[in-house]
Amino acid sequence: MTKPGPMDTAVSPDSYECTIAVECCVFGFQDNVLKILLVKRSIEPFKDHWVVPGGVMREGTTLSKSVNDVLESLTGIKKMSLEQVACYSAVNRHPVKRVVSVSFYALVKPENYPVIPKNYISDIKWYELEDLPKLGFDHDLLVADALNKLQDNLREHLVFGELLPDRFTLTELQDLYESILGENLDRRNFRKKILQMNLLVDTREKKAGVKGGPTLYRLKN
């Protein structure tokens, strides 16, 4: 295990072999658009660059606790549900020292998670995925991989985190799919495939205030 201490302190790479870090791509669905939470660094390396929140895994903690601790320390966001994405171990991915990172993603409603830049973060912002700046370190790759993982989970397992209410219509679900997958889906084929997955329960309720009163569904427990 590495020595405790912030991963952003300039330390001689000869002082220890490797630092283990955690990074998190926090996706939010807002105004029918998929966004990601980025933070701007106020210190070197990559000062004034946007990155996904991340930091060192402390001794005596698990990966999931470490990433939640990092999110809270940098953004104020407290414990959330996380999905592990991948491990990154390219030798030169950090310009100062050897860093191996384990990445995660989360799916949230941005309005439920007020954020504030803390510690070495000078700014924080929800960015639309089609309008991302060039990110520091190898975080462009982390975001791309996390998005692919999210899309795969949505297609195969209907995993969409907190992005829809407990009860939702098939139209709302299709709007979410199209926003995350970045493609238009045939309405009839989409509904047929979704219902064949056998992951939804027809609540026998109708959505109030909508013409025709579409049926509300929920995920199976």
DSSP letter string, 20-80: EEEEEEEEEEETTEEEEEEEEESSSSSTT-EE--EEEPPTT--HHHHHHHHHHHHH-----
- The domain in which residue 212 lies consists of 170-219
Rounded-to-integer distance, Cα 200 and Cα 1, Å? 43
Over residues 97-115, the mean pLDDT reads 94
Do 133 and 37 share a structural domain?
A: yes
Q: Higher-confidence residue: 191 or 7?
A: 191
Q: Using one digit for the tens of pLDDT, what is the confidence trace for 110-137?
A: 998 999 999 999 999 999 999 999 999 9
Do 191 and 104 share a structural domain?
A: no
Pairing state between β 54-56 and 50-51: unpaired
Do 94 and 65 share a structural domain?
A: yes
Q: In sequence order, what are the beta bridge partners of 51?
A: 39
Do 175 and 120 share a structural domain?
A: no
What is the pLDDT confidence band of residue 16, given thresholds at 50, 70 and 90?
low
What burial class does residue 202 get, using C-beta atoms within 10 Å of its C-beta: 0-12 exposed, 13-18 middle, 19+ buried?
exposed
Residue 46 located in a structural domain: yes
Residue 140 located in a structural domain: yes
Do 174 and 83 share a structural domain?
A: no
**Which CATH number characterizes residue 99's domain?**
3.90.79.10
What is the pLDDT confidence band of residue 52, given thresholds at 50, 70 and 90?
very high
**Which CATH number characterizes residue 192's domain?**
1.10.10.10
Do 147 and 177 share a structural domain?
A: no
Residues near 143 by Cβ (< 8 Å), separated by ≥ 6? 25, 36, 52, 129, 132, 135
Residue 193 located in a structural domain: yes
Do 107 and 76 share a structural domain?
A: yes
What is the pLDDT confidence band of residue 32, given thresholds at 50, 70 and 90?
confident
At 161 the pLDDT is 78
Q: How many domains does the chain have?
A: 2
Q: Using one digit for the tens of pLDDT, what is the confidence trace for 139-151?
A: 999 999 999 999 9
Do 126 and 178 share a structural domain?
A: no
Do 53 and 99 share a structural domain?
A: yes
Are the C-beta atoms of residues 188 and 150 closer than 8 Å to each other? no
Whether the pLDDT of residue 86 is over 80: the answer is yes
Residue 131 located in a structural domain: yes
Do 190 and 98 share a structural domain?
A: no
Do 153 and 174 share a structural domain?
A: no
Q: Using one digit for the tens of pLDDT, what is the confidence trace for 165-216?
A: 889 999 999 999 998 898 899 999 999 999 999 999 999 999 887 766 799 9
Q: Higher-confidence residue: 3 or 192?
A: 192
What is the pLDDT confidence band of residue 1, given thresholds at 50, 70 and 90?
very low
Whether the pLDDT of residue 11 is over 50: the answer is no
Residue 123 located in a structural domain: yes
